[in-house]
Amino acid sequence: MSSGPSAAADSTAAALRHVLSHLVTPLLMCIGMGLAYLGAFHAPEPHDLRVDVVGRSGSWWAWQ
């Protein structure tokens, strides 16, 4: 076993690489979900949407 500054630097680099490798997946998931959300809802428009009114024929006029 070697000890000294180079062993400490190797240990620190390995620990940093380990932590960063575990943070990459959640970061990519967050970026992907954000892009998917923005892609789906960036400009909503109805496309040939039919609107129906449900209720009795005189019930609308009662609220006027």
Please tell me the pTM assigned to this model. 0.49
Contact of 22 with 15, CB cutoff 8 Å: no
Beta carbons within 8 Å of 1's beta carbon, 6+ residues apart: 7
Under a CB-based contact definition with an 8 Å cutoff, are residues 21 and 14 in contact? no
- Look up residue 39 and give its two tokens: 């892609």
Diameter of the chain by CA atoms?
90
DSSP helix/strand/coil, 33: helix
Lowest mean pLDDT among 17-21, 25-29, 33-37, 51-55: 51-55
> What percentage of residues in the chain have a pLDDT greater than 90?
41
Q: Is the pLDDT of residue 64 over 90?
A: no
Length of the chain: 64
